[in-house]
């Protein structure tokens, strides 16, 4: 795994581990220097060509999504991400919660402990938590997209300004 500091240093500049000479380091003259980062290239390759197929190169082994979501949920303000993911997984995979969305009512059966479950086309009482989790997941993903584009936009402005001044 590539440390976050190494990736940030590729773009931002000086760090204790990597020193100077990165993409946005003001002392780098783009007319005389090519800025490269093996760490950044490795991250891109692993992301673009990730696979879990048997026989694949270990370098490209994809990280399980639960591992990624668990890491995200440990960040401040992101604690609900894992719970939302788990609930939506229950709905998406064939099991009780996913099937119960159309459960309208329960009527006692003839024998003790038996019951008849009435299934219909409209949404039953279990649909509300599913809708809430879906809206939460969509809101979260929209917010992270906005943040990512803001970070990218800021970086591009600095790079373009540097290129214009070179």
**pLDDT attached to residue 18:** 46
**pLDDT attached to residue 138:** 92
Q: What is the mean pLDDT of residues 107-131?
A: 80
| Nearest CA-CA partner of 18 in 33, 34, 4 | 4
**pLDDT attached to residue 163:** 75
Q: Between 83 and 124, name the one with better pLDDT.
A: 83
Could you tell me the residue ranges of all domains in the chain? 1-62, 76-166
Whether pLDDT at 151 is above 70: yes
**Cα separations in angstroms, 92 against 56, 125, 128, 134:** 28, 17, 15, 11
Whether pLDDT at 91 is above 90: no
Residue 133 CB coordination number (10 Å): 19
Cα separation, 5 vs 12, whole angstroms = 10
Average model confidence (pLDDT) across the chain: 78
pLDDT bucket at 8, cuts 50 / 70 / 90: low
């Amino acid at each position: 795994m590539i440390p976050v500091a190494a990736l940030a240093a590729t773009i931002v500049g000086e760090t204790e581990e990597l020193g100077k000479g990165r993409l946005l380091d003001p002392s780098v003259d783009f007319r005389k220097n090519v800025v490269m980062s093996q760490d950044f290239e490795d991250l891109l390759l692993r992301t673009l060509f990730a696979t879990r197929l048997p026989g694949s190169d270990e370098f490209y082994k994809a990280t399980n999504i639960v591992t990624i979501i668990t890491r995200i949920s440990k960040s401040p303000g992101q604690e609900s991400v894992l719970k939302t993911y788990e609930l939506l997984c229950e709905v998406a995979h064939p099991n009780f919660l996913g099937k119960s969305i159309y459960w309208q009512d329960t009527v006692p059966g003839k024998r003790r402990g038996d019951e008849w479950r009435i299934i219909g086309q409209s949404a039953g009482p279990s649909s509300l938590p599913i809708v809430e989790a879906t809206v939460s997941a969509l809101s979260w993903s929209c917010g992270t997209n906005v943040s990512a584009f803001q970070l990218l936009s800021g970086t591009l402005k600095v790079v373009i300004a540097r290129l214009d001044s070179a």
